[in-house]
Amino acid sequence: MADYQAPIEDMRFLLHDVFALPDQWARMPALEDMSGDLADAILEEGGKVCAQVFAPINRSGDEEGCQWQDGQVTTPTGFREAWRTFAEAGWVGLGGVPDFGGQGAPKGLTVLFEEMQYATNSSLALYSVLTAGACLTLASHGSEALKTRFLPPMYEGRWTGTMCLTEPHAGTDLGMIRTRAEPLDDNRYAITGTKIFITGGDHDLTENIVHLVLAKLPDAPAGPKGISLFVVPKVQVGDDGSLADANAVSCGSIEHKMGIKASSTAVLNFDGAVGYLVGEPHKGLGYMFTMMNYERLSIGLQGTGQADWSYQQALAYATDRVQSRAADPALRSGNTADSILVHPDVRRMLLTQKAWVEGGRALGVYLGSQLDLAKYSSDSNEQAKAAGRVALLTPVAKAFFTDRGMDCTVLAQQVLGGHGYVREWGLEQAVRDVRIAQIYEGTNGIQAMDLIGRKVLQNRGEWLHAFCADMRKDLSALDACWAGHGDQLVQVLQTLEERVDAWLDAKDPNLAGTQAYNLMELMGHVCYGWLWLRMASSKSASAEKKATAEFYFQWLWPQTDTLLRRMRVGSESLMADIL
Ligand SMILES: Cc1cc2nc3c(=O)[nH]c(=O)nc-3n(C[C@H](O)[C@H](O)[C@H](O)COP(=O)(O)OP(=O)(O)OC[C@H]3O[C@@H](n4cnc5c(N)ncnc54)[C@H](O)[C@@H]3O)c2cc1C
């Protein structure tokens, strides 16, 4: 197995040359302390933590897995020590609110750190990103008292956070949840119900776990509008922040699953556990969307991170593996066989991975930078525009990154031939670990439905048209050598907008569901195509970057032809009475 190489050079290229993020940070008071040099140092150190603390226990964590006994979960050997090292160095609160002990780093930077965590150990990364997401939700919607009590120990990594939505009968459709909240006194509630599939729901990494739980109050309206959000700590917390008695929440079991085996996936039973209401009654699902949107981008980064790790393995293996002669005599070595890197089909697989990984990384940073503008810009127009961009592109990032993550790990496995299928080289684990990213945090099908429904048709394409207009503006300023690809992209934008406009007043109730996945995939390509051109035309683009952009347009971009053809069909064949 090759050692993980943190892709710092590519990350710096994006931060400084493609998006000029230090300039953006400098004009926002909340981020003005983040200089380019500091960002580089954070990436450098973050890369080391991932390579030296996360990566070494990825394989052993998979082999040992989490164990459940008598209601207690233990993580695999080495995870407690790794977590302590990670937390004590302050990494859990990297993006957190400074007033409560966080470090306030911009999202345009922290996306890159998250990618490296997932690349090196997705199971361990999940404990950290769920804690960060829970903190963001509390910081955005919690009272001062809740923030003061819970945020500092969570940023310090002394406590972790979870997201408790799913119930046995309610997965995608959260309006059906049955967990109840009975008022006690003093903003305290007794929470009763069962949540399943809770990532990090129980473990031995920290002294406390802070559950963010969706539940219904006695007077709740039916459906999603009747859901409230509660903070329910595993161990109760005194007013001074000290730990008190165990709360009435127990871990009934953990799941035995295909991958991410060192991440505990718990069944949690709440038996009148004491919880605290976050914000106002019945508005919990809206608050939880703060966390879900954070985790959606984050899970997208799992796809990109694992794709990059797998690509690095496949490239190292292909360089050393000698098999068959090169077709081109000029590429033949003096030996009886050549490195498999000389074979066009192996190069097709490797370059596909490279193009997906670097395109995904660029979109992750772009989206992170838009999140920063939406949160911190002092210009209300800029803020609103960025918020629309984030809303539009978050489902694309979650679904497109993770689908490509799956493609890339399988391609990397293929590059290793039979050696990719056996455990030794780690690709078999990568394929198992990345698969969940297409499913949790809202399946990719649900992301596509969110995109076409809430993000495009509901506002009559307003966010989409604004995005297309911005891309067109960029493309009109391209260097002549990239203008041909730019023209192709402009043509696709035009057809995309025409198709969406044609769907706005469609009568077929199944049309949105029929076209959702096509639209999500086309949007993914449009974003990658635009960003490949931005990268390739950047003044400091390397020859390697330009050649990868060319590969992207010759080999991957043509998938848009198929998508555009499919975007003309109606729902008839899908809804035919044959199932
Ligand atoms: C390892 C793991 C970790 C998880 N971690 C957490 C966690 O921390 N917290 C938490 O709350 N949950 C968690 N989950 C739950 C996860 O988010 C859900 O499994 C997921 O959202 C899908 O719900 P479901 O499994 O009930 O599938 P269902 O909702 O039953 O969906 C089944 C299929 O039907 C499709 N479908 C459903 N409705 C529609 C529709 N309207 N239109 C089109 N297609 C539709 C779905 O896309 C899917 O393909 C986790 C799950 C796993 C396996």
Give 187's pLDDT tier (boundaries 50, 70, 90): confident
Spatial separation of the C-alpha atoms in residues 205 and 18, rounded to whole Å? 39
DSSP codes joined into one string, 466-499 = HHHHHHHHHHHT--HHHHHHHHHHHHHHHHHHHH
Tens-digit pLDDT profile for residues 78-135:
999 999 999 999 999 999 999 999 999 999 999 999 999 999 999 999 999 999 999 9
Helix (H) or strand (E) holding 141: helix 122-141
Find the mean pLDDT for residues 481-498. Answer: 97
Ligand 1 centroid, distance to 230 Cα (angstroms): 21
- Residue with the nearest Cα to atom 14 of ligand 1? 197
Spatial separation of the C-alpha atoms in residues 435 and 69, rounded to whole Å? 27
CB of 254 shorter than 6 A to ligand 1: no
CA dihedral 455, 458, 461, 466 (to 10 degrees): -60
Give 556's pLDDT tier (boundaries 50, 70, 90): very high
Note the pLDDT of residue 487.
96
166 CA closest ligand 1 atom index: 11
CB of 446 shorter than 6 A to ligand 1: yes
Note the pLDDT of residue 185.
86
CB of 13 shorter than 6 A to ligand 1: no
In the numeric block, which tokens belong to residue 128?
């950290």
Ligand 1 centroid, distance to 438 Cα (angstroms): 10
Print the SS3 string covering 346-387.
HHHHHHHHHHHHHHHHHHHHHHHHHHHHHHHCCCHHHHHHHH
CB of 306 shorter than 6 A to ligand 1: no
Find the mean pLDDT for residues 165-191. Answer: 94
445 CA closest ligand 1 atom index: 47
Mention every residue, 6+ apart, whose C-beta is less than 8 A from residue 363: 393, 397, 401, 527, 528, 531
CB of 163 shorter than 6 A to ligand 1: yes
Note the pLDDT of residue 186.
81
pLDDT > 90? residue 63: yes
Note the pLDDT of residue 251.
98
DSSP summary character for residue 322: B
CB of 67 shorter than 6 A to ligand 1: no
Find the mean pLDDT for residues 380-409. Answer: 97
- 116 and 47 in contact (C-beta within 8 Å)? yes
Ligand 1 centroid, distance to 171 Cα (angstroms): 5
Ligand 1 centroid, distance to 170 Cα (angstroms): 8
Tens-digit pLDDT profile for residues 501-540:
999 999 999 999 999 999 999 999 999 999 999 999 999 9
Tens-digit pLDDT profile for residues 294-317:
899 999 999 999 999 999 999 999
Distances (CA, A) of 329 to 337, 346, 452: 12, 17, 51
Spatial separation of the C-alpha atoms in residues 58 and 41, rounded to whole Å? 25
pLDDT > 90? residue 291: no
Q: Is 27 helix (H, G, I), strand (E, B) or coil?
A: coil
- 376 and 28 in contact (C-beta within 8 Å)? yes
266 φ/ψ angles, rounded to the nearest 5 degrees: -105, 150
Spatial separation of the C-alpha atoms in residues 125 and 122, rounded to whole Å? 5
Instruction: Please report, as a single letter, which amino acid is at residue 312.
Output: Q
CB of 443 shorter than 6 A to ligand 1: yes
Spatial separation of the C-alpha atoms in residues 182 and 192, rounded to whole Å? 8
pLDDT > 90? residue 476: yes
- 251 and 228 in contact (C-beta within 8 Å)? no
Note the pLDDT of residue 438.
98
CB of 172 shorter than 6 A to ligand 1: yes
* Identified catalytic residue from 167, 295, 428, 441: 441
Ligand 1 centroid, distance to 486 Cα (angstroms): 38
Listed in sequence order, the DSSP H helices in 232-343 are 284-320
Mention every residue, 6+ apart, whose C-beta is less than 8 A from residue 49: 85, 86, 89, 91
pLDDT > 90? residue 480: no
201 CA closest ligand 1 atom index: 8
Tens-digit pLDDT profile for residues 193-239:
999 999 999 999 999 999 999 999 999 999 999 999 999 999 999 98
Give the pTM. 0.98
Note the pLDDT of residue 317.
98
Spatial separation of the C-alpha atoms in residues 363 and 554, rounded to whole Å? 20
Note the pLDDT of residue 182.
98
Print the SS3 string covering 142-173.
CCHHHHHHHHHHHHCCCEEEEEECCECCECCC
CB of 449 shorter than 6 A to ligand 1: yes
Spatial separation of the C-alpha atoms in residues 535 and 286, rounded to whole Å? 36
Give 499's pLDDT tier (boundaries 50, 70, 90): very high
442 CA closest ligand 1 atom index: 21
Q: What is the largest CA-CA distance in the chain?
A: 82
Spatial separation of the C-alpha atoms in residues 29 and 545, rounded to whole Å? 34
CB of 432 shorter than 6 A to ligand 1: no
- What is the helix, strand, coil percentage profile of the chain, to 5? 60, 15, 25
Ligand 1 centroid, distance to 173 Cα (angstroms): 9
Ligand 1 centroid, distance to 441 Cα (angstroms): 7
Find the mean pLDDT for residues 450-475. Answer: 97
Averaged pLDDT of the chain: 97
**534-553: buried (b, 16+ CB within 10 Å) or exposed (e) per residue?**
bbbbbeebeeebbebbbbbb
Mention every residue, 6+ apart, whose C-beta is less than 8 A from residue 553: 485, 488, 529, 532
156 has catalytic annotation: no
Spatial separation of the C-alpha atoms in residues 221 and 453, rounded to whole Å? 24
Spatial separation of the C-alpha atoms in residues 247 and 465, rounded to whole Å? 50
Give 334's pLDDT tier (boundaries 50, 70, 90): confident
| Residue among 73, 165, 166, 296 to mutate when testing ligand 1 (max atoms within 8 A of CB) | 166
Number of alpha carbons in the 13 Å side-chain half-sphere of residue 103 = 19
DSSP codes joined into one string, 385-425 = HHHHHHHHHHHHHHHHHHHHHHHHHHHHHHHTTHHHHSGGG
Looking at the DSSP bridge assignments, the partners of residue 232 are 211
CB of 198 shorter than 6 A to ligand 1: yes
- Residue with the nearest Cα to atom 30 of ligand 1? 171
Q: Is 80 helix (H, G, I), strand (E, B) or coil?
A: helix
170 CA closest ligand 1 atom index: 26
CB of 440 shorter than 6 A to ligand 1: yes
Name the nearest CA neighbour of 313 among 437, 408, 435.
408
- Residue with the nearest Cα to atom 29 of ligand 1? 172
Note the pLDDT of residue 167.
98
- Residue with the nearest Cα to atom 24 of ligand 1? 171
- 271 and 328 in contact (C-beta within 8 Å)? no
- Residue with the nearest Cα to atom 40 of ligand 1? 446
DSSP summary character for residue 462: H
Ligand 1 centroid, distance to 395 Cα (angstroms): 15
pLDDT > 90? residue 273: yes
Percent of the chain with pLDDT over 70: 100
In the numeric block, which tokens belong to residue 513?
């569901």
pLDDT > 90? residue 293: no
